[in-house]
């Protein structure tokens, strides 16, 4: 039996094709069911996703290679592998660990996915590691431990993003693009409320899914080791947060990431995460921020 399975039908992305070939060259046997490097036929007439789930469940690893290496572009190749019980060996979005079921705090750790980038996309190094895991049941089992422990608080909070309807998120995104393309600032948006906690930096804040900003002036006398906490406290004091609880048995994400009740704070145009006291210290005045609550 092959150690890994692959479903690659778009052969235009040469990097992933070469990786499959090189892994085999270094001793990792691959059953390839797609059009590219095809060496194995499917024998089931079930719906496509069910066929893939059943097939992947028979392999220790799945080569979940996307056709693009763009942040946030993660397809069923990754999630079907997780659902099947196989371990994804991944090429694609560099921030894939952010979406993993055991996702840890920034800069995002995970032991449920093997990201080829962690091996410098060196097929020989990657193959050596996969062969090691194949012979070491204890080390391999660590990649399935999330099934025992359950989803991490970060993963649950990430899923709560969908609590804001897709149509609303698309409208906010489009409105932001129009506003920025016309050179309109948050000031011209006339924030609904202005809150002053001192004479420090002025920030414009909104919750994910909202368009209008609230203006907050931070306290300039806060200790540098407390800047992030101060920003979070100001947000929680001024914004009426939405409350969602989509988890069965009334389970809510056990969150303790950057502060109570706040999952993440982003710079709106760039989506850069504000995750530390230094990040708050170095924020420019009049910055636009978006936060996600849990």
Q: Does the pLDDT at position 66 exceed 70? A: yes
Q: What pLDDT shows up at residue 48?
A: 82
Q: Cα(114)–Cα(91) distance, rounded to whole angstroms? A: 9
* pLDDT tens-digit map of 91-127: 999 989 989 999 876 667 899 999 999 999 999 999 9
Q: Which is more confident, 196 or 163?
A: 196
Strand 61-65 to strand 4-6: parallel, antiparallel, or no bridges (unpaired)?
Answer: parallel
pLDDT computed for residue 69 by the predictor: 94
**How confident is the model at residue 240, as a pLDDT?**
63
Burial of 83 (0-12, 13-18, 19+ CB in 10 A): middle
First to last CA, the chain: 44
Average pLDDT along the chain: 84
Is 80 exceeded by the pLDDT of residue 278? yes
**Tens digit of each residue's pLDDT (9 = 90 or more) over 134-158:** 999 999 999 999 999 988 877 776 7
**What pLDDT was estimated at residue 200?**
93
| Separation CA 125–CA 119 (nearest Å) | 6
- pLDDT, position 184: 67
What is the pLDDT at residue 163? 65
Report pLDDT for 124.
Answer: 98
Say yes or no to pLDDT of 188 above 80. Answer: no
pLDDT (0 to 100) of residue 245 = 42
For residue range 216-269, list pLDDT tens digits in order: 999 999 999 999 999 998 988 887 654 444 443 344 444 434 444 676 787 876
Give the C-alpha separation, 234 to 226, whole Å: 12
| Nearest alpha carbon to residue 207 among 152, 262, 269 | 262
Higher pLDDT, 64 or 250: 64
Which of the residue ranges 36-50, 150-164, 240-254, 272-286 would you say has the lowest mean pLDDT? 240-254
- Structural domains in the chain? 4-150 (3.40.50.11660), 157-293 (no CATH)
Mean local confidence (pLDDT), 45-52:
86
Give the residue, 191 or 294, on which the prediction is more confident: 294
pLDDT of residue 252: 42
């Amino acid at each position: 039996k092959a150690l890994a399975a692959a479903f690659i039908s778009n052969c235009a992305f040469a990097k992933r094709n070469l990786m499959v070939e090189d892994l085999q060259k270094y001793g990792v046997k691959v059953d390839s069911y797609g059009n590219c490097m095809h060496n194995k036929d499917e024998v089931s007439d079930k719906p496509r996703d069910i066929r893939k789930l059943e097939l992947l469940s028979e392999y220790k690893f799945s080569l979940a290679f996307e056709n693009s290496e763009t942040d946030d572009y993660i397809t069923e190749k990754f999630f079907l592998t997780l659902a099947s019980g196989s371990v994804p060996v991944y090429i694609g979005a560099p921030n894939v660990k952010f979406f993993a079921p055991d996702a840890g705090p920034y800069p995002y750790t995970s032991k449920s996915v093997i990201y080829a980038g962690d091996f410098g996309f060196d097929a020989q190094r990657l193959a050596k590691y996969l062969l090691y895991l194949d012979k070491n049941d204890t080390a391999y089992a660590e990649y399935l431990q999330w099934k025992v422990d359950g989803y991490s608080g970060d993963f649950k909070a990430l899923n709560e993003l969908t609590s804001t309807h897709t149509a609303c998120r698309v409208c906010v995104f489009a409105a932001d693009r129009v506003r920025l393309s016309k050179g309109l600032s948050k000031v011209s948006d006339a924030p609904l409320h202005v809150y002053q906690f001192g004479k420090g930096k002025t920030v414009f804040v909104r919750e994910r899914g909202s368009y209008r900003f609230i203006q907050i002036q931070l306290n300039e006398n806060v200790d540098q080791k407390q800047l992030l906490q101060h920003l979070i406290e100001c947000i929680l004091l001024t914004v009426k947060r939405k409350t969602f609880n989509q988890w069965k048995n009334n389970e809510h994400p056990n969150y303790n990431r950057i502060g109570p009740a706040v999952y993440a704070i982003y710079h709106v145009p760039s989506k850069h995460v504000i995750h530390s006291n230094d990040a708050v210290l170095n924020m420019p005045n009049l910055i636009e921020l978006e936060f996600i609550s849990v």
